[in-house]
């Protein structure tokens, strides 16, 4: 037990520290409680009809003031006030009795301009060049529409003081009724407001960092494997990061770009990349899936071209703008539906990815909609679906369906990556074991060869001794014949390279025992090769073992081997018979990836010495040709 703790202690400590650091960082993901007070004279909760008890003024007094003369305005019951002239600045004031930490005032802007006082002290103005005294300021309307509210930090001793806001009023009116609408006013806890910005920034940075790391990892995997489906998944991860960045409240302040077009186009391209990924994973029948996906791609491209050439197309006539904005979504839904239907039909017959993805996809879609019903309520969900369909839209249904499919695709891709990595490691382990077995066989063959040569040497010496000592003519003639026969014994293969002879002669016995006809027309090689003995042993043994194993299952088993030196290269040619059906059946029954390990070992050794490997089926036989430079 102690040994295990000592051995795994650093890993356990690292995990504890990682969990602790993650917990500290997650403190900034959730903002502080957003404490604010809505002090607006008219809020979104106000009804359309006047209250019989009179309007809730929330402590505000609305008036005009010229010098020291104050004239209160009359409320109309809807949040507006009458009794002022066009172009006249009006005021609204109240005593600040609320108690908040780090108080922050927020005013709705639009095209209006403001000056703000606390008691008689000016704390903010849009027009510092004017006479900013209460009763004397004349504020003009702004020449542009301001999206962001005015944020003003109040002093710590604000409580009990009178807040006065001066607001501009237009010099024109479309009707004879002149009504002033005081701006919305909110009082925030400054810490909570700052915490909200920090939280949004941290969440965006965290998700973007994860998406960026995923993108880089997928691109590296694409470079290694040249699998185009991985590139599509990398595009999905990158566009997810771009969508998160473009959706932040501070995006426009860093980049003077309208994020609305990005928020519209990026999800479409991301969905197209996801559908391409799923199609590429579709096995042998994926050509049928390219029809709807290709149509969706053409619509997305056409839509992007129209919006770039005619920027106002989305705000044009209702029928045209509806087609521009929502037609790609309909094609996306059609493509996704076809993919799920065909995947469901094929999922038992296709690859492992679809057998995992289809159940996950339907589970993800179900979970996504259950969460919507739970969080938003059934009435709201059905109302949104109905409203979408009545307006020929599909955005609501599409968004929450695609989210489940996206999560399922990522989980299936992750599972496939884990499976591939486990198979790679298992395959690597099996290759190492096979290499060790080849080296063990090589050592045994080398020792057997040495023992045979020593025995042959000793027998010759004994024969010579007997020949010299015995004078009997018949026995002398018999022994002379034995000596001659022994001298004529030669190895089956004599290539000029001792190691090559040991390997080939040792494997020929296995071929003969298996009933395989072996043909070796020509085997020659230099005594010293560029290949090390272990690599030469692994190369030739895997070539012969593969050939013998495949030929043993054929109807007319044979192996043909040729090795020779030509133009500074060592050329190896091996041809063997095989039964394709038997080979396929054996491969399907394997529980671990053994099939093809011999060829992978051969390719790795040849690549190590900058050679070339060609393996193919020729005239019904399997052929391996290898060329390795000798220097």
Is residue 579 within 8 A of residue 624, CB to CB? The reply is no
Which pLDDT does position 320 carry in this prediction? 47
DSSP 305-373: HHHHH-GGGGGS-HHHHHHHHHHHHHHHHHHHHHHHHHHHHHTTTS-HHHHHHHHHHHHHHHHHHHHHH
Contact 518, 512 (CB under 8 A): yes
Residue 135 contacts residue 68 (beta carbons within 8 Å): yes
Burial label, 149 (beta-carbon count in 10 A; 0-12, 13-18, 19+): middle
**93 three-state secondary structure:** strand
Give the list of residues 6+ apart from residue 417 with CB closer than 8 angstroms, or none. Answer: 221
Residue 476 is predicted with a pLDDT of 67
Beta carbons within 10 angstroms of residue 556's beta carbon: 8
- CB-side neighbour CA atoms (13 Å) of 539: 29
Helices (H), 560-614: 580-589, 597-608
- The helix/strand/coil state of 186 is strand
- Distances 289 to 284, 326, 354 between C-alpha atoms, Å: 11, 22, 13
**Low pLDDT (below 70) residues in the chain:** 1-9, 11, 18, 21-35, 42-55, 173-177, 190-194, 250, 252-264, 283-285, 307-325, 347-351, 426-427, 429-492, 582-597
Pairing of strands 558-566, 517-523: parallel
Can you give the pLDDT at residue 433? 61
Establish how many alpha carbons lie within 13 A of residue 362's alpha carbon, considering only the half-sphere containing its beta carbon.
11
pLDDT at 163: 94
* Length of the chain counted residue by residue: 631
Contact predicate 573/625, CB 8 Å: yes
DSSP 123-185: EEES-TTS--STTT--PPPPSS-B-SPEEEEPPTT-TTSEEEEEE---S--SSS--EE-PPPE
Domain ranges across the chain:
36-44+55-183, 202-427, 494-631
CATH 3.90.1150.10 correct for 494-631 = no
- Residue 37 DSSP class: E
Handedness of CA 281, 282, 283, 284 (dihedral sign): negative
pLDDT in the model for residue 1: 54
Tell me the Cα Rg of the chain. Answer: 42
Kind and range of the H or E run holding 522? strand 517-523
Residue pLDDT, tens place only, 228-265: 888 888 888 888 888 788 777 767 666 655 555 566 67
C-beta separation of 278 from 410 below 8 A: no
Q: What is the pLDDT of residue 574?
A: 92
Let me know: does 580 contact 553? Beta carbons within 8 Å.
no
Looking at residue 228, its pLDDT comes to: 83
Distant-in-sequence contacts of 419-424, Cβ < 8 A, 24+ apart:
419/352, 423/593
pLDDT for 493 equals: 74
State pLDDT tens for residues 199-219. 777 778 888 888 888 888 888
CB atoms within 10 A of CB 226: 9
**Residue of 452, 482, 453 whose CA lies nearest to 467:** 482
Gap between the Cα atoms of 425 and 414, Å rounded: 17
Q: Check: CB of residue 79 under 8 Å from CB of residue 92.
A: no
CATH of 36-44+55-183, one of 3.40.1130, 2.160.20, 2.60.40, 2.60.120: 2.60.120
Do the strands 558-566 and 121-125 form a parallel or antiparallel pair, or are they unpaired? Answer: unpaired
């Amino acid at each position: 037990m102690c040994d295990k703790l000592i051995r795994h202690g650093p890993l356990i400590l690292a995990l504890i520290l990682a969990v602790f650091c993650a917990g500290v960082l997650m403190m900034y993901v959730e903002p502080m409680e957003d404490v604010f007070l809505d002090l607006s004279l008219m809020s979104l909760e106000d009804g359309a009809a006047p209250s019989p008890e009179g309007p809730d003024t929330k402590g505000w007094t609305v008036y005009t003031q010229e010098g020291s003369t104050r004239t209160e305005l009359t409320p109309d019951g809807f949040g507006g006030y009458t009794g002022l002239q066009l172009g006249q600045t009006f005021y609204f004031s109240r005593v600040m009795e609320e108690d908040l930490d780090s108080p922050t005032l927020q005013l709705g802007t639009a095209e209006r301009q403001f000056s703000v006082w606390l008691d008689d002290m000016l704390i903010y103005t849009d027009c510092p060049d004017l006479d900013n005294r209460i009763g004397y300021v004349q504020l003009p309307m702004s020449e542009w529409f301001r999206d962001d509210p005015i944020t003003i930090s109040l002093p710590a001793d604000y409580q009990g003081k009178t807040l006065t806001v001066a607001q501009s009023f237009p010099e024109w009116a479309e009707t004879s009724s002149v009504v002033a609408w005081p701006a919305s006013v909110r009082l925030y806890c400054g810490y909570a407001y700052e915490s909200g910005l920090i939280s949004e920034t941290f969440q965006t940075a965290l998700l973007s960092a994860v998406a960026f790391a995923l993108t880089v990892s997928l691109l590296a995997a694409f470079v290694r494997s040249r699998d185009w489906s991985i590139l599509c998944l990398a595009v999905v991860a990158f566009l997810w990061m771009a969508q998160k960045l473009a959706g932040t409240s501070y995006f426009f302040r860093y980049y003077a770009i309208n994020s609305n077009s990005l928020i519209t186009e990026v999800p479409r391209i991301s969905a197209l990349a996801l559908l391409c990924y799923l199609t590429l994973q579709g096995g042998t029948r994926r050509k049928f899936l390219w029809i709807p996906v290709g149509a969706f791609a053409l619509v997305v491209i056409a839509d992007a071209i129209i919006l770039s050439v005619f920027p106002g197309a989305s705000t044009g006539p209702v029928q045209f703008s509806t087609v521009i904005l929502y037609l790609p979504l309909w094609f996306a839904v059609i493509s996704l539906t076809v993919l799920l239907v065909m995947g469901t039909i094929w999922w038992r017959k296709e690859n492992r990815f679809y057998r995992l993805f289809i159940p996950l996809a339907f589970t993800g879609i179900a979970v996504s909609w259950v969460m919507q019903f739970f969080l938003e309520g059934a009435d709201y969900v059905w109302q949104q679906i109905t409203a979408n369909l009545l307006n020929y839209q599909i955005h609501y249904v599409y968004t929450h369906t695609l989210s489940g499919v996206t999560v399922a695709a990522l989980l299936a891709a992750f599972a496939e990556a884990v499976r591939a990595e486990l198979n790679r490691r298992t395959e690597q382990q099996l290759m190492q074991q096979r290499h060790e077995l080849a080296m063990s066989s090589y050592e045994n063959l080398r020792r057997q060869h040495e023992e045979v040569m020593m025995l042959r040497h000793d027998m010759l010496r004994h024969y010579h001794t007997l020949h010299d000592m015995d004078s009997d003519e018949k026995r002398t003639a018999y022994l002379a014949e034995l000596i001659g026969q022994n001298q004529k014994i030669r190895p089956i293969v004599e290539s000029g390279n001792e190691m090559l002879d040991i390997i080939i002669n040792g494997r020929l016995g296995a071929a003969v025992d298996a009933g395989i006809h072996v043909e070796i027309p020509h085997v020659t090689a230099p005594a010293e090769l560029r290949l090390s003995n272990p690599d030469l042993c692994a190369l030739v043994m895997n070539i012969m073992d593969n050939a013998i194993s495949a030929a043993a299952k054929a109807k007319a088993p044979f192996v043909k081997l040729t090795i020779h030196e030509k133009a500074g290269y060592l050329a190896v040619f091996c041809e063997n018979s095989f039964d394709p059906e038997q080979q396929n059946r054996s491969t399907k029954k394997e529980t671990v990836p053994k099939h093809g390990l011999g060829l992978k070992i051969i390719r790795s050794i040849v690549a190590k010495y900058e050679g070339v490997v060609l393996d193919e089926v020729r005239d019904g036989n399997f052929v391996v040709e290898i060329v390795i430079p000798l220097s």
